[in-house]
Chain A
């Protein structure tokens, strides 16, 4: 059992859990993920590690309520314990001194780019971060990402905070005006795709963190197949980081949508249970 020591609602739909998992905390590195599983009926849910504390033995994860599983998870609170929590999985993000690194994050992935920005900074890079959200109310951790960034650009799609527009616009400007050694982009698949397309014109190597559907997360099942440079790779063991210029984005997007009907069924069933007065956990 893995106790939730702290829960924060970063936005109404984006939540943070700090979880007691000493064995995972001892090994966690930037860019890796965990899988959690709760309840006999639960799914195995992969989440990128947002932070860790080796001494306290804790792992921080941030997730957004999307389907039934993440809604159930969001109904848990500090003091509750999660049945299963395994990791760290996947390969860590390559960290070297590239000179200037641009860290691009969108949506709830703003949390997961923080340890990468921190590691890049510690490796001697100049870190310029771009964080994008749909609207002002969904902006969080500007201060935390700012702490490890030499410059920080905040965008909102609707212009309600920071710069109006998508993350790709400031990315393009940076690539036009600076000598950028590497781009790291994490967020919704479409955001990563367009960040990679933007940087491709400049030939700047761009690392993306892919989030296909997974089951076991240890290389056993092959659910998370992605095509990179024409080769099939498993995101759970060969990634999750890949060269964004080589990823077959349309395939990834298609595979992520494979269970949309079932996800809808699950959400309806979950909502029905909640409205029926049953517990929503």
Chain B
């Protein structure tokens, strides 16, 4: 790092001469090359790039960027330390509020959060806060020991808290409570912690070694991690209280995949995105047969849905060797819910967008495998309650797309295992747990809930924000016990 300190000053001088609206672009792997490998797409800033971008920050007296962050990261502080080349201080400032910065720097929709609130956004060139966050977090991971570990506070007679689910909400809540001195045990259903960060988001967007490092950081704070434990089956929520836990945070994720409900959906090679991505990411099917779990893609793949999960699925399919990959979406480009960056990445890599198209049914090859999908053309009608224009079938427009594999990425709904085994836990009509948004409190005393189980499918950072708010409220509650 010391080699760059001369650059720092030079760039700093330039920046002070006026507003610098030149956002430093993120270096990426070449699209044609990256579409064939699972290596990370975004390569991360070099030290010089990071400092050049950090220098664009105006260090506002009343920073608005922080308010745009669901966990209120000390953004100007970490950027200031970064451009002064005090990396340990940058790490401390960042991690004081965010226990998973290397994850957030990669997968947060910053353009809708901190960067949207940056004053330079009005000039169309907000500081690339996410890229800087990633840079600082990666520096921390690469320089283990450079920043002294936070001492694990052990409070005598401390109360014990159970966190159910080791995804972003659970990890954040567990880390915050551990930092406050509580004895935290995190129960994870799968054989590895990280939740959607491990099974859902692909390696090329979020390397699993990075996720594991963040999980290791949380356990280094003294959080006990119990893997292979399905709360609701292995153990009931009420039994956790009997075992001596004083409070429980539920963050099991929105487990159950949604399907289209059309004919032929149970044919072979029709996957839910959850299954497809779990095979590829968690079980590393892209390395079959070295890894035991297989996945099938064939030559032509159709992905149904328009969110980030659909983009991830389509890009995995390309990397697994598919020649043509379609995103089939019933609305138009303007309504695509995926982040623009992910959409662009998918397009660059060669994913074909079939917009205003909706499936009618899957057709059989005569051997129980999907052969084609029959689709309708759609048009947009009047806006629905959500304000998006409602897609309407254009009668008589049926056509077939020949496919070998279908991936259904329509979202998820909450897994009923915990609600059905936890009496007194009120549910909403969407099957989510009824919670107070500000605190995460549920209808049951001593039980909090956050993440997709409370909100339905949402973002990593909103789940982390819920974990953080719940931890603060659980602290208040536990102090009064």
Contact = CB atoms under 8 A, between A and B. Distances in A.
Contacts of A27: 233-235
B278 A232 contact: no
Contact of A266 (B278, B283, B292, B417): B292
Given A44-B283, A221-B275, A222-B275, A23 B415 contact: no
Contacts of A227: 266
Interface stretch (A84-92, A107-115, A171-179): A84-92
Given A219-B415, A221-B257, A223-B275, A85 B292 contact: no
Given A85-B228, A215-B275, A258 B296 contact: yes
A83 B191 contact: yes
A257 B283 CA distance: 20
Interface in B394-453: 415-417
Contact of B189 (A37, A86, A221, A265): A86
B292 A69 contact: yes
B359 to A, nearest CB: 16
Given A84-B227, A89-B230, A222-B259, A255 B296 contact: no
A69 B289 CA distance: 11
B190 interface: yes
Given A218-B230, A220-B256, A225 B266 contact: yes
Nearest to B415: A219
Nearest to A238: B416
A143 interface: no
A23 B266 contact: no
B294 interface: yes
A254 interface: yes
A16 interface: no
B191 A258 contact: no
B233 A87 contact: yes
Interface string B112-143: 00000000000000000000000000000000
Interface centre among B257, B274, B278, B293 (most CB of A within 10 A): B293
A84 B275 CA distance: 20
A227 B235 CA distance: 29
A61 interface: no
Nearest to B270: A225
A257 B294 CA distance: 13
Contact of B292 (A68, A222, A223, A251): A68
B291 A218 contact: no
A144 B228 CA distance: 30
Interface in A34-68: 37, 40-44, 68
A218 B257 contact: no
A216 B278 contact: yes
A41 B268 CA distance: 24
Chain B interface size, as a band, is: 35 or more
A269 interface: yes
Contact of B268 (A37, A87, A254): A254
B191 A215 contact: no
B253 to A, nearest CB: 8
Given A84-B227, A265-B289, A222 B257 contact: yes
B290 A41 contact: yes
Contacts of B368: 251, 254-255, 257-258
B265 interface: yes
B228 A41 contact: no
Interface in B257-309: 257, 259, 265-266, 268-269, 271-272, 274-275, 278-279, 283-284, 287-294, 296
Contacts of A138: none
B234 A215 contact: no
A263 B293 CA distance: 9
Contacts of A42: 292
B289 A269 contact: yes
B106 to A, nearest CB: 23
Interface in A225-267: 225, 227, 232, 234, 237, 251, 254-255, 257-259, 262-263, 265-266
Contact of A232 (B189, B259, B296, B416): B259
Contact of A218 (B255, B265, B271, B292): B255
B255 to A, nearest CB: 4
A103 B420 CA distance: 30
A24 interface: yes
Interface in B284-336: 284, 287-294, 296
B255 A86 contact: no
B345 interface: no
A84 B288 contact: no
A43 B199 CA distance: 14
A227 B368 CA distance: 14
A43 B292 contact: yes
B278 A86 contact: no
B414 to A, nearest CB: 10
Given A84-B228, A254-B268, A37 B191 contact: yes
Given A86-B228, A88-B234, A89-B233, A215 B279 contact: yes
B1 to A, nearest CB: 33
Interface string B231-254: 001110000000000000000010
A86 B229 CA distance: 6
Nearest to B189: A218
A44 B228 CA distance: 11
B191 A222 contact: no
A166 to B, nearest CB: 25
A30 B106 CA distance: 45
Interface in B177-217: 189-191, 199
Nearest to A266: B289
Contacts of B274: 220-222
A84 to B, nearest CB: 4
A92 B244 CA distance: 28
Given A227-B266, A237-B417, 13 more contacts: A27-B234, A44-B191, A87-B230, A87-B233, A87-B234, A88-B234, A216-B190, A220-B257, A221-B275, A222-B259, A257-B268, A257-B368, A259-B294
- Report the 4 A-B pairs with minimum CB-CB distance, sorted nearest first: A254-B368, A262-B294, A221-B275, A84-B191
14 contacts: A23-B234, A40-B291, A41-B291, A43-B292, A85-B228, A86-B230, A86-B234, A216-B189, A219-B255, A220-B199, A220-B255, A222-B256, A237-B417, A258-B268
